[in-house]
Chains A and B, each alone.
Chain A
Amino acid sequence: MITVEGLTKKYGSTIAVDSLSFTVKPGRVTGFLGPNGSGKSTTMRCMIGLDRVQSGTALFDGKLYRELKKPLREVGTLLDAGNAHSGRTARNHLRWLAMSNGISPKRVDEVLELVGLIDVAKKRVGQFSLGMKQRLGLAAVMLGDPKVVILDEPANGLDPEGIRWIREMLKHLASQGRSVLVSSHLLSEMALMADDLIVIGKGRLITECTVPDFINQYAKKWVVVKSPQLSSLVSLAQGQGMHVSLGEGVAEFHGVEAATIGELAATNNVVLHELSTQTGSLEDAFLEVTADAVQYHGHAETQSKGFEI
């Protein structure tokens, strides 16, 4: 279990992490979400003592990270796949880590096998692709068979097979009772792998809940209707003040339950071919909830003012 309490990190006058508190429960994959610059990576660095905090604590089963005698046996972290000396071989990279925490050298080959890098164990890390470095980083995480796993964007650079592999691995780790905290920009992946979510913006906690609760709470819902008498139904609905948008042979009713539309149709003898409730994706919910916390906005080409001749 990870318990973060009142974590605050400042860089000069800039507050990167602002009194952040959350818990990561054992046996569950917890997604850590936030827009770019929201403080996710900083939080992770602060949790394991790489960055000094102004206040607050991060406890791993009740202990501060610096109090752990063999931290790699308790907490496995992957913050940046590039954190490996390019001139060192993959096996030597893991050997020094293992040695520092009294982990058997046999374990090095076991984890290389686990991540599929055993055949390139003697290759220098500088010759690795980003995906291979990610796998090496994951091997380092698993070296001490830790109870807590913290991963920052572990799917970066992985191909679809690699992304699926990491998803299955994280779910498997959680199923063994480990606490898994993972940040990712791939929200579709997060929807598939995470049980709980911690969403932050501008260093502050926005929400902490389960994935279904998050979508239920923040994603938009609407009712889709198909009917041979669609125009009649739309007129009736608009007459009752409902907000309706029309597509080709389809009407979408916003801010109203499917049952209400069904009753309206039945009362007025309108035949329905489809009546279904649609819910927005995790991405929709995320964009909705973090709209005010986005620091860096892009602008579409279509918004340009055109050329002057």
Chain B
Amino acid sequence: MSNAHAPAGEQRSLELDRQQLERIWALPNGWRILSAVNNTVVGYFYIGAAFLFFLLAGLLALLMRTQLALPSNTFLSADTYNQIFTMHGTVMMFLFAVPAVEAMGILLLPQMLGARDLPFPRLGAFAFWAYFVGGLVFFSTLFFDLAPSGGWFMYPPLSNTRYSPDIGADFWLLGIGFIEISAIAGAIEIIVGILRTRAPGMSLDKMPMFAWTMLVFAGMIVFAFPAVILATIMLELERALGWPFFDAAKGGDALLWQHLFWFFGHPEVYIIFLPAAGMVSMIVASMAGTPLIAFNLIVVALIATGFFSFGLWVHHMFTTGLPAMSVSFFSAASMAVAIPSAVQVFAWIATFAAGRLRLATPALFVLGFLFIFTLGGLTGVMVAMVPFDWQAHDTYFIVAHLHYVLIGGMVFPLFAALYYWAPAFSSRALSERLGKWSFWLMFLGFNIAFLPMHLLGLWGMPRRVYTYPAEMGWQTLNLVASAGAFLLAAGVLVFICDLFRNLRPNLASPAGNVWGAGTLEWLENGLYGPRSIPHVESRYPLWQQPDLAKDVAAARFYLPNAPTGLRETIVTSPIEAAPQYLQRLPGPGWTPLFAAIFTAAFFMLLTVKMLLAALACAVLALACILVWVWGSDPEPLGHVQIGGGIDLPTYASGAVSHAWWAVVIVLLVAGSLYLSFVFSYLYLWTVAAQAWSLAIQSGLPSAASAYVGAGLLGLSAACVGVAGKVLARSRTGFAALVLIALLALPAALGLEVAAHWRSGLRPQASGYAALVYLAAVLQLQIVVAVVVTGAYTLTRLAMGRLSASRRVTFDTLALLSYYAAGQGMLGLLLVHGFPRAVS
């Protein structure tokens, strides 16, 4: 697309185009910046919030290490210490680690992929504000002595009302539950952004490694988080209403929680590690000045890690008395997962050897990461061996292992990334001198703090202990570890000084490509991203397409202007990145912020049992969301020119639409949630089968009620399907069919609940009964979503904003309705069919 220097008239119109882009993408000024939705602004807020939580949880760690520095210390009482270690783990895992890597994705991905923004800017803003507000409220429970104290993993029975009667556990359950929803919203954005908004020509094999890791990261969130969401719903139902999922005396099982929690918990640590590995891949290539060796093999390793990590969770349960065959399987899987990580490590080393590593601060943090993470991975292989784990589990050996892999595997890469990418988002790079000080203090402090803990564990010191007697001989190493922790903190402090002295957030004219890197985020970017969206032909466009940066800046590629006068980005096909349509994006707005505040308020008021106030906030949140959604789905404007002789439609319906993809991902989440429920149902049957035979004897509702229910569900799906066909011809017919569908779904649910209630089954009676009613709770969630979406669809129809050519809203309703019908039928099959099949 290079042409000769443009004549003067063309120069002037290019300048006008640039001014137009600047106006359209301008940020609101002053405090109104809180309503911004640009990925760069939201990304900055996100990484700032994540870093704040890192510091807060780090302070908690310093308090813990102060208490443990001396034997029988009285600095903290047992209860305070238990709250602090619970919050340290919870805040680090949920409020720092996942949000931090998600933030880096939001900040970097659009520019790295050659897009102007993420596909759902307001969803990203909502995800951030929900996380920030909810996280702050949750953290503040510490100041009121209301923090949870059952550990970050909250095992029942310790976490049920009998042994944790106070409200801290409820704060944990509800607070964490909705912070996870925020993570899922972010994951949707990232998946659709990576698969559908890459620059034209950037086929999957040319996509940067960080985008690959974020894709796997987001996919893992979709399948892993629902398990813990279900577990938190179940535990809260047990605490608030007495539904005995985990109560062995009533046909529940404490191990059910452990299975659900760790099915999430193990992928969680790879969710945290893989994006960090992706950042390392990018930094290594730039610092060595050469493309990554074995790129394709690394991608395969990433995907393999993602898959394997779902098959390891029982290695957290090796001491629970499970059969030898089961634990051996999970031991094998846990060792196998070391192989893809080893592939990445050696690929990075090969890249060092292929280039010439510049030992600037980012490279130092990468080298530190390699040492610490490898050591942590090796202790991981050790604890993957079941007999060794029988000694090491729940001791300071594990504390050492987990910090080596998490601080080594994520924190060090994060610091490398902050030093590396700061010049792209700040008018000044960070200081090399302070960076080196920060690195060495952190590296030495970390090892001094955590290396002795391996020995402490082998010398018998268990985890989660607020003190230890002097007779044990553990005090010297504990004192050394505490000193190391403070040294590590000093390193972080130096980094904070560097931030204050040198970081000057500037998205319009940043310091620039100081490293001579090869990927697109290093183009001259304004608030609107690149001046024009390049046509990509290689994996390292700035290295392999020599005039690219110049041509992008001279507006010689796509979208040098804004054909519709609004914020836009190009939607491309998932594999080949061929342009498909032009998406219009929203500008600043207050609804995501307020929706997030009201959602957070809803969850917190529910926790303190102020039900009316909670309901009011739920209604307000819903109102904000409806206002926000009403403004999306703009009407089709025909075709526009985007440059390069390409013209694209401005609207897409059906499976090509990015909105359709988002809904499908939501349904994958819902499906995972439901499959976790199916697992729980079948699992409790293996533990307490007598409840199932009892159910048959004392009156499972008749099969007739199940058939009628299935019929209603089928009717609902069929009506929606036919409605789609008649939309073009008859608006009344369409509305009538949708209405029937919207009535049939809740009717099916009501019938099911009434049938069980009339048969005398009460959810508090047993684990089995609780599960039957849990099916109804999960069905209720999706039915409410369908009914609200249906009412919204009919409103759009009435206001003339829905038609055969503008039908994204209806496509969304259709997907949700088919899913609701399918989920309902699976539920009926399980609840009515399974007991009959096994008796």
Question: Are A and B a genuine interacting pair, yes or no?
Answer: no
Interface of B toward A, CB cutoff 8 Å: none
